[in-house]
Chain A
């Protein structure tokens, strides 16, 4: 079974731009979560989607948004990029609470 895939793997943007990241979960997994990882803040939960509905949200500004499609694929959007948004963005899919499967992440650099 294929793992979680994320595209693109690397991205460079400038301040003020917006970016869209994509995540394809493991087949059959309906829950998709997004995390931001930085050296200073570690791994932080952004939001989680299940059956196209956002069920939970972390403490991030409204510039961070997401959505999930009927095939469980998910996208995350960050508008008006700031330097501090440079991070590794991780997507994870899950079938149940016991285990989340993470993708390789998208490394975003904001210049």
Chain B
């Protein structure tokens, strides 16, 4: 599994856009990039997944440059409830469903202030 590096923490204010960049220099050809969000005392929650270029859903956007050595999670107009830990994961979809595990790094603690 490719190693990921993300900032330990980020501060923001309500209504601002938050961009979290994850480095994954050793990403393999078949690896996907996935982001999870975790609130205190809760399990992580899937946010978004992508392979290349840009992916957007109702909560976030994921930007992946052509070399795929990094990716940026963008949270538009954050609110206080977006305060959480955000994890970047890189891994290959299992072949024949035989190799299936997620490797979480330290994550980025995002604190949104009023």
Interface residues, chain A, CB within 8 Å of chain B?
A: 4, 31, 33, 35, 42-45, 48, 50, 55-56, 58, 88, 90-92, 94, 97-105, 107
- Contact (Cβ within 8 A) A55 B100: yes
| A4 to chain B: closest residue by CB | B43
**Size band of the interface chain B makes with A:** 20 to 34
Q: List 28 A-B contacts (CB under 8 A).
A: A4-B43, A31-B100, A33-B100, A33-B102, A42-B104, A42-B105, A42-B106, A42-B107, A43-B44, A43-B104, A50-B97, A50-B100, A55-B98, A55-B99, A55-B100, A56-B101, A90-B43, A90-B44, A97-B32, A97-B94, A97-B100, A98-B46, A98-B49, A99-B46, A100-B102, A102-B42, A102-B43, A102-B45
A4 surroundings in chain B (CB, below 8 A): 43
B interface SS class: loop
Query: What is the CB-to-nearest-CB distance from B40 to chain A, in angstroms, rounded to a whole number?
Result: 10
Chain B residues in the interface with A (C-beta under 8 A): 32, 41-46, 49, 87, 93-94, 97-107
